[in-house]
């Protein structure tokens, strides 16, 4: 009975987060037709973006693993900076570099069309893959690499045995997420390829596209099925593979470095990636702060921060309920019960934002929905699915790793439970909350595409303010606001790193790495 109540709570959460917009889409789907060509073109762009971003980001992470963290800290900062910039602002920045709106490297270049759009999406998602694969490679210990070398494995054989399983384990989830977000973005195609008929842009501009919005779920569902089958195949071949992700490198060991010809290729990859990302950040920051610093931000940034706090609070409360359901299902059905709850929240993160946004827009025009509280509720629902999924998985996988072991050691040493909680759990939980806020804030300002459907252009929120500036071709002002907010996010991320490591970049740089060659 108790487990049934927990399951019912999770069902209610999912129904509120995605059930309302999908119900509205089905209720009005008979008024429109499916734009098959637009969905096919959008799916092709999303698929190409996913493949390119996965390849470039994984290659960069693998190259960075050849060197100490102190050697690549600048590249990490640049890519983190780029990760916090909205995708359509990244497109505007590249137009500033190679188009007709700023520094004209080519007098006939307009940097517009499907190829510039593909380039923009790839550059926008490469940092996400880079940091995801860097996290995967942290589970590789020097002892494991040394044992493989003693067994006679070198070069590609060592890579396939030790490194490839980690990289492949992260790739399906990253790929499904990138595919869904790319498919749901209506603004970046409008900025970079205004003549192309893409599905999300078509749904955004036209009001009778409920069937098209629903049909966007089909390619995303196919991507989720492919990712799930990939995971099933991986875990069937190596059931203990997931446990590798929970390992951290606590034993220093002897540091290894590639030498001679083995180090030149990784150096070239890192230099090329750093040159492209660094050039983008430097030029766009210059254009923004020099030519757009007079643009008033108004209350957009303050309101976005407040919205992020509100979304984080809702996500924490709902995630706490979901964790109770996960624990109850785990006690009754074991791993299958826990993974079922995880799958529900994974689907919340992967459902196309264009479908959710279109459904919420239909809800906003419903005769019974009006007033400021209704508008605030729709804005919260626009940000909630992805933010809730992020917070849930953060609490499931990061929270226990940061506090449980030290808490148990404190109890074994005779420390009272209350003191152990006050000295161990609460400080680490504070870091989790701050990190969760960082992720939710980035989502509210960068990835929450449903906001574009439920908010009018004059709504004082960051994403809508940036779209208004880009729609008026005021690129410097948009770059200035975006860069200012990115500085805030990167500074907050730096504070989190210093707080977790205790002594700052010194501890960060001393983490040991082991190249695979």
* Tally of CB atoms within 10 A around 159: 16
Q: Is residue 444 part of a domain?
A: yes
Q: How far apart, in whole angstroms, are the C-alpha atoms of residue 15 and residue 80?
A: 34
Q: Which of 394, 411, 414 is nearest to 402 (CA)?
A: 394
List the single range of 13-27, 37-51, 170-184 with lowest mean pLDDT. Answer: 13-27
* Pairwise CA distance, residues 290 & 323, whole Å: 48
Q: 20 in a domain, yes or no?
A: yes
CB 102 within 8 A of CB 96: yes
- 247 or 184: which carries more pLDDT confidence? 184
Q: Is 255 inside any structural domain?
A: no
d(CA 151, CA 195): 57
The pTM (predicted TM-score) of the whole model is: 0.83
Residue percentage of the chain with pLDDT more than 70: 73
Instruction: Report yes or no on 316 lying in a domain.
Output: yes
Pairwise pLDDT comparison (166 vs 227), residue with the higher score: 227
What's the structural domain count of the chain? Answer: 1
pLDDT in tens, 144-183: 777 887 887 777 777 777 788 888 888 998 999 999 989 9
The verdict on residue 233 lying in a domain is yes
**Could you tell me the two tokens for 212?**
């098209």
Question: pLDDT digit string (tens) for 189-215?
Answer: 988 888 888 888 888 877 657 888 888
Residue 70 lies in a domain: yes
Q: Enter the DSSP assignment of 243.
A: G
Q: How confident is the model at residue 258 (pLDDT cuts 50, 70, 90)?
A: very low
Q: What is the pLDDT of residue 225?
A: 92
pLDDT attached to residue 242: 62
CATH (domain of 193): 1.10.3720.10
Q: How confident is the model at residue 117 (pLDDT cuts 50, 70, 90)?
A: very high
Convert the pLDDT of each residue in 357-385 to its tens digit. 888 888 877 766 666 667 778 888 888 88
Conformation bin of residue 474: beta by default, left when phi > 0, alpha when psi is -120 to 50: beta
Residue 33 lies in a domain: no
Q: List the domain range (segments joined by +) for residue 436.
A: 2-27+39-246+265-509
- Would residue 517 count as lying in a domain? no
């Amino acid at each position: 009975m108790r487990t049934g109540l927990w399951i019912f709570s999770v069902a209610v959460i999912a129904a509120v987060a995605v059930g309302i917009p999908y119900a509205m889409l089905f209720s009005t789907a008979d008024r429109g037709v499916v734009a098959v060509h637009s969905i096919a073109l959008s799916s092709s762009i999303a698929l190409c973006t996913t493949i390119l971003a996965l390849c470039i980001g994984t290659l960069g992470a693998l190259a960075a693993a050849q060197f100490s963290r102190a050697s690549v800290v600048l590249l990490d900062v640049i890519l983190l900076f780029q990760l916090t910039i909205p995708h359509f602002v990244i497109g505007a920045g590249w137009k500033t570099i190679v188009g007709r709106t700023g520094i004209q490297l080519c007098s006939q270049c307009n940097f517009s069309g499907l190829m510039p759009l593909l380039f923009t999406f790839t550059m926008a998602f490469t940092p996400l893959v880079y940091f995801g694969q860097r996290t995967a490679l942290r589970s590789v210990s020097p002892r494991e690499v040394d044992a493989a070398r003693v067994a006679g494995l070198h070069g590609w054989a060592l890579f396939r045995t030790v490194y490839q399983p980690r990289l492949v384990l992260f790739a399906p989830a990253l790929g499904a997420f990138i595919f869904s977000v790319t498919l749901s973005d209506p603004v970046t195609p409008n900025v970079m390829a205004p003549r192309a008929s893409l599905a999300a842009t078509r749904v955004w501009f036209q009001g009778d596209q409920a069937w098209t919005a629903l049909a966007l779920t089909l390619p995303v569902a196919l991507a989720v099925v492919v990712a799930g089958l990939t995971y099933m195949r991986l875990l069937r071949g190596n059931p203990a593979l997931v446990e590798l992700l929970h390992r951290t490198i606590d034993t220093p060991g002897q540091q290894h470095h590639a030498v001679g010809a083995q180090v030149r290729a990784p150096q070239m990859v890192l230099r090329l990636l750093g040159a492209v990302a660094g050039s983008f950040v430097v030029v766009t920051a210059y254009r923004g702060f020099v030519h757009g610093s007079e643009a008033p931000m108004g209350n957009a940034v303050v309101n976005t921060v407040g919205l992020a706090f509100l979304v984080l609070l809702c996500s924490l409360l709902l995630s706490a309920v979901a964790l109770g359901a996960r624990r109850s299902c785990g006690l009754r059905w074991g791993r299958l019960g826990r993974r079922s709850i995880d799958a529900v929240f994974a689907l919340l993160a992967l459902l196309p934002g264009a479908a959710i946004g279109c459904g919420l827009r239909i809800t906003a025009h419903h005769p019974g929905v009006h007033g400021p509280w209704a508008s605030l509720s729709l804005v919260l629902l626009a940000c909630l699915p992805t933010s809730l999924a992020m917070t849930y998985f953060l609490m499931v996988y990061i929270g226990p790793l940061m506090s449980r072991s030290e808490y148990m050691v404190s109890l074994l040493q005779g420390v009272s439970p209350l003191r152990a909680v006050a000295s161990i759990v609460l400080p680490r939980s504070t870091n989790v909350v701050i990190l969760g806020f960082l992720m939710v804030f980035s989502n509210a300002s960068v990835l929450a595409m449903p906001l574009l459907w439920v908010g009018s252009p004059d709504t004082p929120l960051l994403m809508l303010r940036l779209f208004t500036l880009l729609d008026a071709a005021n690129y410097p002002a948009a770059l200035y606001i975006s860069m200012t907010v990115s500085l805030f996010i990167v500074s907050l991320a730096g504070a989190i790193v210093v707080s977790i490591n205790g002594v700052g970049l010194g501890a960060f740089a001393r983490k040991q790495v082991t190249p695979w060659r």
